Amino acid sequence: MSSAGSALARRPADSAPCKGRSPLAHLLHALNQPLTGLQCSLELAVAGPRRPEQYAHTLNEALELTARMRILVEALRELADLAQSDLELANSAESEPVLLDELVRAIADDLRPVAETKGVLLSLESETPLPIRADRRSAEAWLFRCLESALSLAQDRSALRIVAAREREKTCLIIAWQQGPEPEYSPFSRPELGLLIAQAAAEQAGAEWTTLRQDRSHTCTIGLPLDSPGRVAKCDDSEASR
């Protein structure tokens, strides 16, 4: 793109979320950029007579900006669906004891073939057991989305490190990776959007999520309340007796 509106919509600094923003705020901020770029581009197109190739260029810009907005709107729709499903879950189901270490290990094993294809060393260090109270299916969904997105963002032939441990009355899940080259014109790529959706789901489940970015080094730290190991054992015994 060459127009002023397109340049405004593509500032690389906007790809880094600002500290303290919610996933919804990140997405609304990101949506404003291509929307402003589209408006500027179209305003320039109707400002005066232009050559046919200039009109064609403006239409191509408009199509690209619209495609980016559509991706962001899909992510906003996911957030809305997530809020609705969370409300339905709160009204219809109770949390259960879940071993976070087992859940993370199973997801990491599922993702190893993808990691090997990228040449990414996927390492997992975990204390055991790490019991939490959660809806198992919801926890599994956002954890998978989180780890899959981090793996997609990781630089080829680098490392993705996962550490799960106790920290006082909480479990602390740390996911760290060296990010690969960012798309040329993105405020958010699809894996980055996946990470935002995972963050929203985790926070709705009661997790504390923090992100640290330094150059290309990215670290997500997710804190979840510990549950009583005895209740997990009791639940396992109950399942085995059925």
Write out the chain's pLDDT in tens, 242 residues: 434 334 333 433 333 444 567 888 888 988 998 899 999 888 888 888 888 888 888 889 889 899 889 989 998 988 888 776 665 555 455 667 899 999 999 999 999 999 999 999 999 999 999 999 888 988 999 999 999 999 999 999 999 999 999 988 899 999 999 998 776 555 678 899 999 999 999 998 889 999 999 988 999 999 998 886 555 444 444 444 44
* Rounded Cα gap, residues 236 and 120, in angstroms: 35
Please, which residues bridge with residue 169 across strands?
Answer: none
Tokens of 126: 């975990």
Please, what is the end-to-end C-alpha distance for the chain in angstroms? Answer: 63
DSSP symbols for 146-195: HHHHHHHHBPTTSEEEEEEEEETTEEEEEEEEEB-PPPTT-SS-HHHHHH
Q: Is the pTM higher than 0.95? A: no
Helix (H, G, I), strand (E, B) or coil at 206: coil
